[in-house]
Amino acid sequence: MTTQQIKYFLSLATELHFWKAAEKLFISQSTLSRQIQSLEEEIGYQLFKRDKRNVKLTDAGIFLKDKWATTINDLDHFQKQAKKIDQGTSGHISLSYPGSIAFSYLPLFLSKINASIPDLKLELTEPIDENHEKLLLNYDTDIAFNRDAINNTHIMSYKLHTEPICLVVSEKHWLTNTTLKDLKVLQDEKFIISGLHRNTYFPSLLRSLFQKNGFEPKTVIESDFGGMIINLVAQGLGISILPLSYKFSNAIGVRFIELDETISLFMNWRKNDPNRITERVVKLAKEMTNPT
């Protein structure tokens, strides 16, 4: 039995159609049929019930589909990590991050990495917030920058810094640092913000802020992409609330007004990760936070 045979089985178990499975695997239908038959002969029992029209999993096939899918995924994850470990200091590392740090913290951090480990290849991913934990556990990213600590026994977290959140308005808007006395004056404003129905950190922070000030915002556009939000605010389509980091994008036509609320940036990585590169990059991030 080979891992390739198991992958062939999983493809057929998903498609339940030899031609469709073979097409996705880029092999001939006869090759797939032979591989499945060889697998069944080796293990000594049928995995599929076949007739001229249909392919169905046997009870044993249903059981192995779930078990082998997990096993194959684990093998792929482990192989990715082993390759990084083997590459040592001249390998590559994957970083995931929220869009807000792309204009301030992240460029400075990447410059520090480049100065300390010049041959290191960096892979950057900007996922939605709830994907950071999954990316780490699946070995699809090595270090995840996130707005809150990831609460998982297999993940380490470290707070890098805290910053204010800001009301973002068009430069033509009547609100300024001096005219904004009470957030309740915003209850008739049109907001362009993250969907408040979501359970990730920043929408939860916004919900708490609005509840504390006794009103629900009139949301006209929902978006998780700060750059897009700022452009829409500049066009006068509404106002928003974003981390101060976005101010460093040097966007034209908007004004940032700091509020009495803060948000933090955390670095998260797998506990006991044997990859020496991850350890070095984590150390560099800590040095930026606590320079000696």
Q: Between β-strands 143-146 and 190-193, what pairing exists: parallel, antiparallel or unpaired?
A: unpaired
Strands 143-146 and 254-270: antiparallel
Q: Are residues 169 and 257 in the same domain?
A: yes
Residues 171 and 150 in one domain: no
Nearest to 130 by CA among 204, 180, 64: 204
Please state, in angstroms and rounded to a whole number, the distance separating the CA atoms of residues 185 and 174: 11
| 141 and 273 fall within a common domain | yes
- Are residues 110 and 128 part of one domain? yes
In terms of domains, do 152 and 282 share one?
yes
Domain end call among 40, 70, 86: 86
Nearest Cα to Cα of residue 244 among 146, 180, 159, 165: 165
Indicate whether 153 and 177 sit together in one domain: no
Instruction: Looking at the structure, tell me whether residues 181 and 230 fall in a common domain.
Output: yes
Spatial distance between the Cα atoms of 203 and 136, rounded to a whole number of angstroms: 22
- Identify whether the C-beta of residue 46 lies closer than 8 Å to the C-beta of residue 40: yes
User: What CATH number does the domain containing 53 carry?
Assistant: 1.10.10.10
For the chain, give the secondary structure using H, E and C: CCHHHHHHHHHHHHHCCHHHHHHHHCCCHHHHHHHHHHHHHHHCCCCEEECCCCEEECHHHHHHHHHHHHHHHHHHHHHHHHHHHHHHHHCEEEEECCHHHHHCHHHHHHHHHHHHCCCCEEEEECCCHHHHHHHHHCCCCCEEEECCCCCCCCEEEEEEEEEEEEEEEECCCCCCCCCCCCHHHHCCCEEEECCCCCCCHHHHHHHHHHHHCCCCCEEEEECCCHHHHHHHHHCCCCEEEEEHHHHHHCCCCEEEEEEEEEEEEEEEEECCCCCHHHHHHHHHHHHHHCCC
Q: How many CB atoms lie within 10 A of CB 247?
A: 21
The pLDDT tens digits of the residues spanning 24-64 come to 888 888 888 888 888 888 888 888 888 766 788 888 888 88
What are the CB-based long-range contacts (under 8 Å, 24+) for 109-118? 109/284, 109/285, 109/288, 112/284, 112/287, 112/288, 113/281, 113/284, 116/280, 116/284, 117/89, 117/277, 117/280, 117/281
Cα–Cα distance for residue pair 9/5, rounded to 1 Å? 6
**Listed residue (107, 97, 100) closest to 246, CA to CA:** 100
Tell me which of 86, 117, 146 is where a domain ends.
Answer: 86
Tens digits of pLDDT across the chain (292 residues): 788 888 888 888 888 888 888 888 888 888 888 888 888 888 888 888 887 667 888 888 888 888 888 788 778 777 766 766 565 545 678 999 998 899 889 999 999 999 988 878 889 988 865 678 888 988 889 999 999 889 999 999 999 999 999 999 999 998 888 888 788 889 999 999 988 888 888 899 999 999 999 999 999 999 888 889 999 999 999 999 999 999 998 889 999 999 999 999 999 999 988 778 888 899 999 998 875 4
Q: pTM (2 decimals)?
A: 0.67
Q: Are residues 141 and 168 in the same domain?
A: no
CA angle 8, 13, 15 (to 5 degrees): 95
Is residue 178 located within the same domain as residue 154? no
Question: 45: exposed, middle or buried (C-beta count within 10 Å: 0-12, 13-18, 19+)?
Answer: exposed
* Count of domains for the chain: 3
121 and 138 in a common domain: yes
Q: Which domain holds residue 197?
A: 163-262
Regarding whether 278 and 203 lie in a shared domain, the answer is: no
170 plus 257 within the same structural domain = yes
Domain end: 64, 86, 108, which one? 86
